[in-house]
């Protein structure tokens, strides 16, 4: 039986249930849509390097990058068949990704949805790791890591996070490093798989012109074929001891760039939120940042006219239960002026707040962006999967956003920025020898 959640404003419905093996199933019908999308995901990402295995009491620690490594190896089939070729037979496009807190496998198709769904569930439920294949994969992922090390956007953010965080794994690359992946064994992969790729720790989200009861019938049939010896219960993720202080206020690197790149970040110690409270914190900060630094803000336009910033200017906020941070980044020859003016405008905004008219304009824009999510099956599935692991839905997302007040936004901005908890990451052009 499905639990049915309705959103009358957009005439949208979410169907949710739990399968016989403990897997959560979410179905979002989109009548008349030509595309179908399915995402099979686990509440497991690069941050989960320390955990207490199901049924045990002692914490184990695995190498950095193992979640990403495991994602790569999941495409190996015991029978030697190529997963991508299997999907291609039915016209589907598959892929996967690993984040800090989630690993997801998915496909998008226009026909043969249930055949593709069967392939998706079957290969994610069929781990096959050998010593030889793991050793071979180390070279492939090593090349990927080396490639990222040559990307200035990747390097500047990694350096910033390592300046902000002492212990939290968010300070590390999702793929790990050459040294850490060299320690990964096929036994470690099975350990992580058997604990985190546990139906009780996973969710299957399907979106498209599909019938919920038919999806349920097929999903139950497919998971019944699962022959794994699954753990009973959920893996324990220990709380990470992260001090409120930053590591250091400044870090720089030299790379082959045309002009300096500067990123200013602030460690948000106002954490611990879950569910809708976490949504509320994110919405309040996101609106505050748009008001402060968006294309219609005084800060952006004043800096643009002074040629301190240009189209390379970016800003954003990452807010999770255990960690959160905001950042501003730009390529500029005037990095010192950028930092000085940024801090000046932050202080002024904390004192003066935001205009109510501007707040309502930005809030309406955010609500419009969310409504547009429902026009894309990919976006619906990805957002719904992520929300499921946070104990919320897309409908909660709308309701919380709609309830945000100017006072919420003003308070969020004031509590976020603190010079003592801020750091600067800079990439400078490599000096060419004459």
Catalytically annotated residues: 71
Q: What is the 3-state secondary structure (H, E, C) of 362-414?
A: HHHHHHHHHHHHCCCHHHHHHHHHHHHHCCCCHHHHHHHHHHCCHHHHHHHHH
C-alpha to C-alpha distance for 283 and 110, rounded to whole angstroms = 34
Residue 249 dihedral angles phi and psi, to the nearest 5°: -85, -10
β-bridge pairing 422-429 and 250-255: parallel
- What lies within 8 Å, CB to CB, of 380 at 6+ separation is 28, 30, 37, 207, 373, 374, 394
Task: Supply 268's token pair.
Answer: 């948000």
What radius of gyration do the chain's Cα atoms show?
23
| Cα–Cα distance list, 18 to 42, 119, 131, 214, 387 (Å) | 15, 20, 35, 15, 16
C-alpha to C-alpha distance for 375 and 377, rounded to whole angstroms = 7
């Amino acid at each position: 039986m499905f639990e049915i959640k309705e959103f009358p404003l957009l005439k949208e419905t979410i169907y949710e249930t739990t399968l016989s093996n403990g897997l959560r199933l979410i179905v979002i019908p989109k009548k008349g849509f030509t595309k179908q999308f399915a995402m099979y995901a686990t509440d497991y990402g690069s941050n989960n390097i320390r955990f207490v295995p199901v049924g045990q009491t002692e914490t184990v620690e695995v190498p950095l990058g193992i979640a990403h490594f495991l994602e790569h190896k999941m495409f190996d089939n015991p029978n030697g068949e190529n997963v991508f070729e299997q999907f291609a037979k039915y016209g589907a496009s598959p892929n996967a990704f690993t984040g800090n807190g989630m690993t997801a496998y998915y496909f998008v198709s226009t026909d043969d949805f249930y055949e593709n769904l069967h392939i998706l569930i079957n290969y994610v439920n069929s781990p096959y790791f050998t010593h030889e294949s793991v050793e071979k994969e180390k070279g492939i992922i090593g090349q990927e890591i080396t490639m990222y090390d040559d990307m200035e956007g990747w390097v500047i953010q990694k350096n910033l996070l390592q300046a902000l965080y002492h212990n939290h794994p968010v300070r590390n690359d999702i793929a790990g490093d050459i040294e850490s992946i060299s320690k990964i064994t096929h036994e470690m992969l099975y350990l992580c798989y058997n604990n985190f790729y546990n139906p009780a720790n996973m969710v299957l989200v399907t979106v498209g012109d599909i019938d919920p009861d038919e999806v349920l019938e097929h999903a139950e049939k497919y998971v019944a074929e699962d022959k794994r010896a699954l753990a009973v219960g959920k893996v324990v993720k220990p709380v990470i001891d992260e001090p409120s202080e930053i590591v250091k206020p400044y870090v720089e690197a030299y790379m082959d760039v045309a002009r300096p790149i500067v990123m200013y970040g602030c460690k948000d110690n106002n954490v611990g939120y879950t569910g809708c409270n976490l949504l509320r914190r994110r919405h309040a900060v996101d609106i505050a940042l748009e008001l402060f630094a968006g294309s219609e803000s005084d800060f952006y336009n004043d800096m643009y006219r002074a040629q301190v910033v240009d189209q390379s200017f970016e800003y954003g906020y990452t807010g999770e239960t255990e960690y959160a941070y905001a950042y501003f980044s730009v390529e500029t020859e005037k990095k010192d002026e950028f930092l000085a003016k940024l801090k000046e405008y932050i202080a002024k905004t904390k004192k003066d707040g935001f205009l109510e008219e501007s707040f309502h304009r930005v809030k309406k824009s955010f609500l419009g962006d969310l409504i547009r999510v429902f026009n894309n099956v990919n976006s619906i599935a990805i957002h719904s999967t992520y929300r499921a692991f946070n104990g919320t839905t897309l409908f909660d997302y709308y309701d919380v956003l709609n309830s945000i007040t100017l006072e919420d936004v003003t308070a969020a901005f004031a509590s976020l920025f603190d010079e003592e908890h801020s750091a600067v990451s800079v990439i400078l052009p490599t000096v060419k020898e004459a």
